[in-house]
């Protein structure tokens, strides 16, 4: 105990003097992530990028004696961006002021917006700085304050050897005057990290193309997506070629003085050991190196998400419908890239509204009865079913006074008041809806109840509405469930289809939205509402994961708006605010934080959208 106490006290003592951080002024990325994303897009950055934590990078620069004793100062987190993400440090506590630490986040965000051509580390960041200050001169004061604060923390040139001192002088000149061309001389140690600049050499993001990747659209090459514990801190990653060799083990005799060892490739792509905690192993590693193997393990394992036998699967309607998909890299629609499969549930029985929902349904029906079409008298008509007595008396009085008008409207007519409205509700039935909300129900159960109460409400108003669900397995298999079509009445048979909804596979949202828009576009109503219920962001087995799926979904929504439709999203995803404003706009979505409230809030939301 005494040794541990002394050791921990020494560690705190030496670390506190070696680390030049200010914990009381720390700013976390989680606190500024939303602001940084909005700031990035406001400056013209690409809206589909996610804001994520940066990886640890090695620092080879000279460290003080205290840093070497404490074992710190050999890692840092640079800001950088790629096609998918804007990566910022997990936290910043470099300056004694929270405002300066926050301003550094915003400055790095602004610096990431501009693009530059290839060049060395200093020239690239100088050019980025010049362009940033030229486009947004209001950031100049912020930049100057950050430069002054940062230079106070850097090693003084007078305390460094000659060559390293010249390097430091060049760095300082480049920070003070981004327009002045400078270069670095060779020295034993590279210069200290510059926190106001982006990563000197961001990690590559593409796989080695020398080996063809597996095609996820082929059943024999499909991989199941196992749930992993998601960590905030990102790991530094490298790529390497797959080692060649036969299956086997490394042989080594410890008792032999003249021993030998030989590396042999051991296949670890699949395992039957349930206790093999790969996530814990990854967490213990600072750097992870991966290689791409052209082999598949589909023949060795049974995929949980494989399609069921046709005799147990739902009923397929037709051969499928080819659908376009947006490729944001090529900036074009890929013609007939996906195939949508219309389906209906196989095992359904006509059923009444469940007892647990009947009290709520009666209350909602009373609220929606005010929207029921009413009959009313239209007065002062030139033609009608009967005389408008008030206007007819006025006409007779005017005639006695000699003021006669032959076209005076003296009739009234009984007319029907109607709502010229059609609504299509599209429900996400992906595998994530199988998650439990509490001990008694799952997400899919809450979605099912929402469909019940929504239908009960709209059945009272007489509005035309349709219900559909969707999930996907890859681009060639997007399942689109028909629950209630526009021309079908809401009855016990439709309730049977609602009762039969169940979790499916993945969420290829763009394809489902495009087909739903085609159905809604055919309606003759003047107002057309496309209501989407989802519990997560777009994803699928293939490259639809990440920004590709986000951009395709956004393009599908823009296409729907051009057709005169009104898309609106209802989500229960707590992270939805990171991507839904980019997809639907800030006023075209709502987050239901308490999932159990979805069934009662959905009809009221419809009332607000269409009143």
pLDDT in tens, 416-455: 556 788 999 999 999 999 988 888 889 999 999 999 999 9
Q: Is the pLDDT of residue 278 over 60?
A: no
Judge if 544 and 443 occupy the same domain: yes
pLDDT 10s digits, 1-47: 677 776 676 666 656 565 677 888 899 998 888 888 888 888 888 87
Domain identity same for 344 and 384? no
Whether residues 412 and 455 share a domain: the answer is no
Same domain, 582 and 466: yes
Decide which of 176, 197, 212 is a domain's last residue. 176
In a domain? residue 538: yes
Q: How many CB atoms neighbour CB 444 within 10 A? A: 24
Distance CA 198, CA 80 (A): 5
Pairwise CA distance, residues 581 & 527, whole Å: 23
| Average pLDDT along the chain | 79
Q: Which of the pair, 251 or 545, is modelled with greater confidence?
A: 545
User: Which region holds residue 509: left if phi is over 0, alpha if psi is between -120 and 50, else beta?
Assistant: alpha
Q: How confident is the model at residue 376 (pLDDT cuts 50, 70, 90)?
A: low
Q: Are residues 451 and 598 in the same domain?
A: yes
Over residues 66-73, the mean pLDDT reads 64
Q: How confident is the model at residue 307 (pLDDT cuts 50, 70, 90)?
A: low
Query: Confidence band (pLDDT; 50, 70, 90) for 609?
Result: confident
C-alpha dihedral, 183 to 186 to 188 to 191, nearest 10°: 10
Residue 297 has pLDDT above 70, yes or no: no
Quick one: tokens of 295?
Answer: 């082999």
CA neighbours closer than 13 Å in the CB half-sphere of residue 193: 20
Residue 371 in 3-state DSSP? helix
Tokens of 8: 């921990």
At 120-148, the pLDDT tens digits run 888 888 888 999 999 999 999 999 999 99
Strand partners, 81: 86
What CATH number did the domain enclosing 436 receive? Answer: 3.40.50.410
Label residues 226-260 b or e (16+ Cβ within 10 Å = b). Answer: eeeeeeeeeebeeeeeeeeeeeeeeeeeeeeeeee
Determine the Cα–Cα distance for residues 392 and 562; give it in Å rounded to an integer. Answer: 49
Count the Cβ atoms, other than its own, within 10 Å of residue 97: 12
pLDDT band at residue 343 under the 50/70/90 scheme: very high
Half-sphere exposure of 146 (CA within 13 A, CB side): 25
Q: Are residues 511 and 384 in the same domain?
A: no
Residues 357, 465 within the same domain: yes
Q: What are residue 554's phi and psi, to 5 degrees?
A: -60, -40
Q: Is 63 helix (H, G, I), strand (E, B) or coil?
A: coil
* Domain assignment of residue 21, yes or no: yes
Q: Does the structure show a pLDDT above 60 at 176? A: yes
**Predicted pLDDT of residue 219:** 39
Does 383 share its domain with 447? no
Examine the fold and report which residue of 152, 176, 200 is the final residue of a domain before the chain moves on. 176
Give percent of the chain with pLDDT exceeding 90.
33
**Bridge pairing between strands 50-53 and 464-474:** unpaired
501 lies in the same domain as 442? yes
Residue 262 lies in a domain: no
Same domain? For 364 and 503 the reply is yes
- pLDDT, tens digit, 9 for 90 and up, residues 76-121: 888 888 888 889 999 988 888 899 999 999 999 999 998 887 778 8
- 243 inside domain: no
Residue 163 lies in a domain: yes
Domain endpoint, select from 351, 386, 416: 416
pTM confidence score: 0.68
Report yes or no on 527 lying in a domain.
yes
pLDDT value for 215:
43
- Is residue 233 one of the residues assigned to a domain? no
In a domain, 209, yes or no: no
What burial letters (b/e) apply to 286-306, b meaning 16+ CB within 10 Å? eeeeeebeeebebeeeeeeee
SS3 annotation, 305-332? CCCCCCCCCCEECCCCEEEEEEECCCCE
* pLDDT number for residue 389: 78
How many domains does one find in the chain?
A: 3
Residue range(s) defining the domain that contains residue 140: 2-176
Residue 24 vs residues 95, 97, 103, 142, 199: alpha-carbon distances, Å: 10, 9, 16, 21, 26
Asked if residue 406 has pLDDT above 80, the reply is no
Q: Are residues 358 and 382 in the same domain?
A: no
Question: Does 527 lie in the same domain as 382?
Answer: no
């Amino acid at each position: 105990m005494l040794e541990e106490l002394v050791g921990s006290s020494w560690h705190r003592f030496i670390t506190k003097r070696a680390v030049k951080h200010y914990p009381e002024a720390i700013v976390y990325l989680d606190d500024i992530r939303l602001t940084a994303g909005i700031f990035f897009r406001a400056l013209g950055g690409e809206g589909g990028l996610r804001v994520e934590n940066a990886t640890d990078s090695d620092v080879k620069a000279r460290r003080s004696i205290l840093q070497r004793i404490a074992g710190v100062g050999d890692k840092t987190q640079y800001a950088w961006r790629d096609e998918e993400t804007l990566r910022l440090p997990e936290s910043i506590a470099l300056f004694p002021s929270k405002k300066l630490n926050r301003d550094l986040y915003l400055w790095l965000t602004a610096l990431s917006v501009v693009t530059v051509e290839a060049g060395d580390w200093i020239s690239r960041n100088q050019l980025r700085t010049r362009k940033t200050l030229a486009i947004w001169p209001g950031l100049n004061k912020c930049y100057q304050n950050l430069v002054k604060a940062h230079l106070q923390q850097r090693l003084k040139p007078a305390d460094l050897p000659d060559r390293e001192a010249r390097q430091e002088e060049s760095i300082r000149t480049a920070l003070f005057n981004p327009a002045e061309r400078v270069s670095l001389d060779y020295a034993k140690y590279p210069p200290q990290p510059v926190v106001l600049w982006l990563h000197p050499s961001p990690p590559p993001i593409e796989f080695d193309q020398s080996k063809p990747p597996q095609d996820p659209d082929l059943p024999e090459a499909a991989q199941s997506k196992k749930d992993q514990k998601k960590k905030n801190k990102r790991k530094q990653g490298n790529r390497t070629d797959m080692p060649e060799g036969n299956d086997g083990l490394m042989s080594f005799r410890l008792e032999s003085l003249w021993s030998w060892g030989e590396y042999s490739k051991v296949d670890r792509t699949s395992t039957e050991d349930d206790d093999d905690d790969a996530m814990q192993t990854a967490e213990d590693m600072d750097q992870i190196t991966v290689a791409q193997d052209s082999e598949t393990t589909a023949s060795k394992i049974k995929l949980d998400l494989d399609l069921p036998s046709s005799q147990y699967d739902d009923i397929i309607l037709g051969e499928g419908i080819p659908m376009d998909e947006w490729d944001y890299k090529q900036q074009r629609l890929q013609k007939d890239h996906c195939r949508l499969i219309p389906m209906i549930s196989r095992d359904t029985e006509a059923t009444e509204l469940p007892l647990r929902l009947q009290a709520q349904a009666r209350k909602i029906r009373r609220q929606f009865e005010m929207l029921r079409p009413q009959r009313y008298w239209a007065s002062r008509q030139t033609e009608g079913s009967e005389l408008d007595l008030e206007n007819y008396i006025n006409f007779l009085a005017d005639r006695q006074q000699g003021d006669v008008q032959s076209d005076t409207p003296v009739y009234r007519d009984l007319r029907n008041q109607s709502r010229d409205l059609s609504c299509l509700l599209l429900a996400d039935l992906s595998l994530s809806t199988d998650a439990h909300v509490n001990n008694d129900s799952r997400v899919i159960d809450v979605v099912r109840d929402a469909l019940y109460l929504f239908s009960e409400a709209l059945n009272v108003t007489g509005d035309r509405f349709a219900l559909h669900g969707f999930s996907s397995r890859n681009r060639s298999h997007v399942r689109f469930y028909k629950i209630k079509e526009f021309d079908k009445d809401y009855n016990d048979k439709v309730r049977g289809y609602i009762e039969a909804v169940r979790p499916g596979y993945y969420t290829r949202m763009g394809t489902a939205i495009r087909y739903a828009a085609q159905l809604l576009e055919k309606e003759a109503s003047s107002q057309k509402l496309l209501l989407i219920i989802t519990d997560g962001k777009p994803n699928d087995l293939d490259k639809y994961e990440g920004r590709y799926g986000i951009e395709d979904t956004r393009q599908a929504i823009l296409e729907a708006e051009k057709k005169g439709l009104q898309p609106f999203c209802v989500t229960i995803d707590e992270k939805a605010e990171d991507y839904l404003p980019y997809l639907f706009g800030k006023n075209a979505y709502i987050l239901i934080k308490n999932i159990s409230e979805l069934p009662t809030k959905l009809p009221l939301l419809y009332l607000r959208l269409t009143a």
